[in-house]
């Protein structure tokens, strides 16, 4: 529990520090959308960028002036003035004022190494730069958050000077002093003694800004809060330079669920998974499935003993209920599965699994196929088709008679392929031929040509991802391969699998199952809609 300690204030810097992460880039529209989402979630400080560094951030602040952020305060970021330049003449500080935000975040040097090597000035001039820059911003009516860059490194090298830089910030009127572990090399046990020394020297509220280069950003932040930090700076999903910043998502969940701190408005923590995934989508970044609390694997159970226990008592293998953070329990089906896995997964899918003999047969089939290289935890659509075939006698919409694929030659350096497909659809033989710039593309087109006349809804289905993995590389070109295909239809996406010694055959398996699942999915949605309509009609009567 928090022991009565005041909960720290979260300060989000995804839109500034987060964009320094490799591959992360936001448009002005993206930044506005994320800022609104953060404000609705309950984050009080949202750092929007560095207006003096690039036109995009300047455009964001110009647009943000006309937006309502529900009480959240947008912060603009910059560095202290340049050496021997008056604050009012410094372009970065002028841009900071022109950004029009109530809050400004100013970064300054705390490490004498940086003053000498990076700034190329004297220690005394750096002190003047910090003090005069903050005083200038306070004179403009701004709330000033002072980020003491590389503070922990600076403290270890020259304690007296590092403290002197903070005292200069305090004397100039800084509202917050934030200690930055910019290189991410501080150990958790170092935090409390250093913060105690700082607290003895300055009275301004302290904050913490850790980076994750040692994988310790969360531990450093928690130690800082325990030692009295009243502000915590981080980014959503840990985006940031090198290995990233403190993941504010994880920190908020730990602080609320483990330390009993009421940081967010009531009910917001249940939205944290949606927030994490939303920002990942806007950033066009794959969200790590292993992220604590919000990852797809955070509450996934694979071992049969685990599943059996967690179904009886979730606390046996879950440290918090997944719904507390807006996530869900996932029961994974694999060759490690027991009967409990299959029963729970069938229940989730709405499949009748009361026939014990059929459940046993399904379990044996899963284990046999996974031994061959199938991987159902990555292809839940294929598992559902298998389960419905074994447990419900699902009848497929079409049956393969045969196919043939050949490479005809090259055009402009691209191999041209032709595929012939013969399938039986509703008792009739469909025989189609199609070309493509590769054998799988040709096979997909031929299959679609055969199916669309009978099932026009396939027009809306499209392949969005295709992965091939060699399972036993020692066999060389005769190795078994696994193909995973992701398909979407505008209403959702699903993944299917194929395994074979022949990559084309594995591809056909995954392709055909993707269309079979899509057809079954639409039919079941239609049937459910009709049942709901019938119930509504009966109630009206």
* pLDDT score at 335: 45
Q: What is the DSSP string of 376-440?
A: GGG-HHHHHHHHHHHHH-PPPSEEEEEEEEEEEEEETTEEEEEEEEEEEETTEEEEEEEEESSHH
The whole-angstrom separation of Cα 275 and Cα 294 is 9
Task: Answer whether residue 1 shows pLDDT above 50.
Answer: no
Identify the residue whose tokens are 């964001």. Answer: 60
Instruction: Collect all residues with Cβ–Cβ distance below 8 Å to 83 and sequence separation of at least 6.
Output: 119, 120, 121, 125, 126, 129
Query: What's the pLDDT score for residue 156?
Result: 96
The encoded tokens of residue 529 equal 């809609």
User: What pLDDT score does 376 carry?
Assistant: 78
User: Cβ(182)–Cβ(165) under 8 Å?
Assistant: no
pLDDT of residue 306: 63
Structure tokens at 509: 């398996």
**The pLDDT of residue 178 is above 70:** yes
pLDDT band at 173 (very low <50, low <70, confident <90, very high): very high
Q: Using pLDDT thresholds of 50, 70 and 90, give the confidence band for residue 365.
A: confident
pLDDT at 524 over 90: no
- Determine the 3-state secondary structure of 26 from DSSP: coil
Output the pTM of the full model: 0.70
Q: What average pLDDT does the structure give for the chain?
A: 89
Residue 416 pairs in a beta bridge with: 409
Domains of the chain, each with CATH number or no CATH: 9-283 (3.20.20.70), 300-392 (no CATH), 398-454 (3.30.160.740), 462-541 (3.30.160.340)
Do β-strands 493-500 and 9-12 pair in parallel, antiparallel, or remain unpaired? unpaired
> Residue 310 has what pLDDT?
63
- The total of other beta-carbon atoms located within 10 Å of residue 523's CB is 12
Per-residue pLDDT at 393: 87
Closest-CA residue to 422 (of 436, 433, 435)? 433
């Amino acid at each position: 529990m928090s022991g009565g300690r005041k909960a720290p204030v979260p300060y989000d810097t995804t839109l500034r520090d987060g964009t320094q992460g490799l591959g992360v880039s936001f448009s002005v529209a993206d930044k506005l959308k994320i800022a609104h989402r953060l404000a609705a979630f309950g984050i009080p400080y949202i750092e929007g960028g560095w207006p003096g560094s690039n036109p995009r951030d300047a455009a964001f602040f110009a647009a943000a002036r006309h937006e309502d952020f529900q009480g959240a305060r947008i912060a603009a970021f910059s560095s202290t003035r340049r050496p021997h330049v008056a604050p009012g003449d410094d372009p970065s500080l002028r841009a900071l004022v022109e950004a029009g935000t109530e809050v400004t975040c100013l970064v300054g040097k705390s490490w004498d190494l940086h003053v000498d090597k990076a700034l190329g000035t004297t220690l005394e001039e750096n002190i003047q730069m910090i003090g005069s820059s903050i005083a200038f911003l306070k004179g403009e009516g701004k709330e000033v958050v002072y980020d003491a860059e590389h503070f922990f490194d600076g403290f270890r090298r020259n304690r007296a000077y590092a403290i002197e830089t903070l005292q200069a910030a305090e004397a100039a009127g800084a509202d917050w002093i934030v200690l930055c572990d910019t290189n991410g090399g501080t150990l958790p046990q170092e935090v409390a003694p250093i913060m105690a020394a700082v607290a003895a020297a300055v009275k301004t509220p302290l904050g913490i800004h850790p980076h994750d280069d040692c994988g310790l950003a969360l531990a450093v932040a928690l130690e800082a809060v325990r030692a009295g930090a009243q502000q915590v700076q981080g980014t959503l999903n840990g985006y940031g330079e090198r290995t990233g910043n403190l993941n504010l998502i994880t920190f908020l969940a730990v602080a609320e669920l483990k330390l009993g701190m009421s940081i967010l408005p009531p009910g917001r923590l249940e939205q944290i998974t949606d927030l994490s995934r939303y920002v990942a989508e806007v950033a066009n970044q794959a969200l790590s499935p292993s992220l604590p609390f919000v990852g797809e694997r955070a509450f996934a159970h694979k071992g049969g003993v685990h599943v059996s226990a967690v179904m009886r008592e979730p606390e046996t293998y879950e440290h918090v209920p997944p719904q507390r953070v807006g996530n869900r329990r996932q029961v994974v089906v694999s060759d490690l599965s027991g009967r409990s896995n299959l029963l729970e997964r069938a229940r989730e899918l709405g499949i009748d699994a009361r026939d014990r003999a059929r459940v046993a047969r399904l379990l044996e089939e899963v284990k046999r196929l996974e031994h061959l290289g199938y991987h159902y935890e990555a292809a839940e659509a294929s598992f559902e088709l298998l389960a419905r075939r074994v447990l419900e006698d699902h009848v497929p919409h079409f049956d393969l008679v045969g196919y043939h694929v050949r490479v005809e030659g090259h055009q402009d350096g691209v191999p041209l392929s032709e595929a012939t497909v013969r399938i039986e659809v509703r008792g009739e033989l469909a025989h189609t031929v199609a070309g493509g710039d590769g054998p799988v593309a040709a096979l997909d087109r031929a299959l679609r040509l055969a199916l669309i006349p009978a099932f026009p809804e396939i027009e809306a289905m499209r392949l969005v991802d295709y992965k091939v993995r060699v399972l036993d590389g020692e066999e060389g070109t005769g190795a078994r391969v696994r193909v995973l295909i992701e398909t979407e239809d505008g209403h959702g996406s699903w993944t299917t699998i194929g395994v074979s010694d022949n990559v084309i055959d594995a591809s056909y398996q995954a392709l055909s199952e993707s269309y079979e699942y899509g057809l079954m999915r639409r039919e079941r949605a239609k049937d459910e809609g009709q049942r709901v309509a019938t119930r509504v009609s009966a109630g009206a009567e």
